[in-house]
Amino acid sequence: MNKKSYIEIEKGVKFLCVNSDKFKTNCIKVDFYLPMSEHLAAQNVLASLMGHTSKKYNTFKSFNGRIESLYGADFDTSIATIGEKIRIRFSVEIPDDRFSLDGKSIAQETVDFLIEIIKNPHCENGEFDKEATDREIRFTLQNIEAEKNDKRAFAVSRLRQLMCQGEPYGIDREKLEQDVKNLDGKKLYDAYADMLKSSTIVITACGNLDGEMVKDKFSGFENSIADRKPADLPTIFITKADKIRYFKDEMDVNQAKLVIGLRSGMENADDSYFPFRVMTDIFGGGPYSRLFLNVREKMSLCYYCGARLFREKGIIFIQSGIEEENYEKALSEILNQLDVMKKGEFTDEDFTSSITALSDAFKGVEDSPVAVCTFYSSQVFDDSLVSGQEYAEKIASVTREQIVECAKRVSVDSVYILAGESGDNE
């Protein structure tokens, strides 16, 4: 595939179409990026509601019927945090137009559908429909409760809140839950209006598509939004932890969850990203990693143990499931393996296994239109777009010296354990 770049079709509206006739399906993703704000609770409900009904298709039956008429399009809406940005996504995968039975353009009808549900949601006089709002509030509260019951996810969420308290990234889930309970149709509409006016909008398409058609339709839609002023999208990067902080919660759990938060030392999302990616992978990536081979396999101190770099925030989370009595030993060995990385004492086999695994993974990111859209949309705020092959080449060019330098920049910020109610660890 040729060199690609997003173009700005309107102020705060970016567009990329990756044309390829090798796929049988096409994918379109429409992303709204916003800074974290008081609308977070409403945005969570909004992302769900707008994926179920609209003014024109105001019941589940009519909404899903329209999707089915698009040859069973795979449609979804979601919300995610990317650093300290909120992303509300409308995503659809459809058969290519050459499979249309009546000669109509499936792609054109799908773009019209996307614009219809975004532009005309299920609301009246500045308020979302009460029945639909109440239903989606219940769904959102059920999802929050499900996270509480998933102790692994809960532990990570809790560490994030404690470690990043005072930063937008440190979402207080209890406050979020209460805010969701206090929502109504008016507050939901205020969040919707803010989404249209304040967001950076990113349209990413891939497949055998008429890119000009997609671009022109969305350009016309954005021109119809009055007073658009895309907000700045900053993220706070804290490069070093002053000291290690220890936190503990008790809950009825069969397996204790140990989560450790590290400040990577990155000053922004592009700061030595590829060496940091390889360093984190050698440390706690696949089954070849230091944490897996030593903490889990050799010493049998945990059921799972891995590390993940969150590039857009410059932090690393280490997750581990342990027997509570192994807390001190597991923590000590995890930190010991971090010291191994800092001293450059990882083996050539560790290094080669990681480079190979990561390179192979990136070489396969353009194997489907959905993967292509996901891959390139993740780079929308980068200075330039890098293909999967180029990613693999950049990974392969990382040196041991760069990895050690990155590891030396890492500092331990917070240690959190979710223990059983009778536990006595500190």
Q: What would the DSSP string read from start to end of 307-325?
A: EEEETTTTEEEEEEEE-GG
Same domain, 146 and 267: no
Same domain, 271 and 370: yes
Residue 337 lies in a domain: yes
Same domain, 202 and 319: no
The pLDDT, as a whole number, for residue 209 is 93
Among candidates 92, 114, 104, 109, which has minimal Cα distance to 25? 92
Examine residue 425 and state whether it is found in any structural domain, yes or no.
no
200 plus 302 within the same structural domain: no
First CA to last CA distance, the chain: 54
Q: Residue 289 — φ and ψ, nearest 5°?
A: -75, 160
Residue 5 and residue 385 in contact, taking contact as beta carbons nearer than 8 Å: yes
Residue 33: name the closest of 313, 314, 233, 235 by CA. Answer: 233
Name the residue with tokens 């989370």.
317
Three-state SS at 143: helix
Are 211 and 275 in the same domain? Answer: no
**Of 223, 257, 275, which marks where a domain is finished?**
223
Residue 351 lies in a domain: yes
362 and 295 in a common domain: yes
List the one residue out of 238, 232, 237, 307 whose CA is nearest residue 269.
237
207 pairs with which residues across the strands? Answer: 19
Q: Which residue has the tokens 């509601």?
A: 49
DSSP designation for 254: S
In three-state secondary structure terms, 401 is helix
Asked if residue 119 and residue 73 are part of one domain, the reply reads yes
Neighbouring residues of 58: CB distance < 8 A, sequence distance ≥ 6: 122, 129, 132
Q: Are 162 and 269 found together in one domain? A: no
42: left (phi over 0), alpha (psi -120 to 50) or beta: alpha
Q: How many residues does the chain have?
A: 426
CA–CA dist 8, 202 (Å, integer)? 9
Domain that holds residue 105: 7-223
Domain membership of residue 382 (yes or no) is: yes
> For the chain (length 426 residues), average pLDDT per consecutive 10?
80 94 96 96 97 95 96 96 97 95 93 96 96 96 93 96 96 96 97 96 96 92 86 96 97 95 97 97 96 97 97 98 97 98 97 96 92 96 92 97 98 97 54
Among 226, 11, 15, 221, smallest CA distance to 120 is for 221
Say what the pLDDT of residue 2 is: 55
- My answer on whether 209 and 259 are in the same domain is no
- In this prediction, residue 227 carries a pLDDT of 87
- Tell me whether residue 264 is in a domain: yes
Q: How many domains does the chain have?
A: 2
DSSP per-residue codes, 54-111: -SSS-SHHHHHHHHHHTTS-EEEEEEEEETTEEEEEEEEEEE-GGG-SSS--HHHHHH
| pLDDT at residue 222, as a whole number | 79
329 domain residue, yes or no: yes
Q: Give the CATH number, domain containing residue 387.
A: 3.30.830.10
Give this prediction's pTM. 0.94
Nearest to 320 by CA among 390, 400, 256: 256
In this structure, is residue 93 part of a structural domain? yes
Burial of 84 (0-12, 13-18, 19+ CB in 10 A): buried
Max Cα distance, the chain (Å): 69
- Note whether 205 and 280 are same-domain residues: no
Residues 272, 145: one domain?
A: no
Residue 311 in domain? yes
Task: Indicate whether 202 and 303 sit together in one domain.
Answer: no
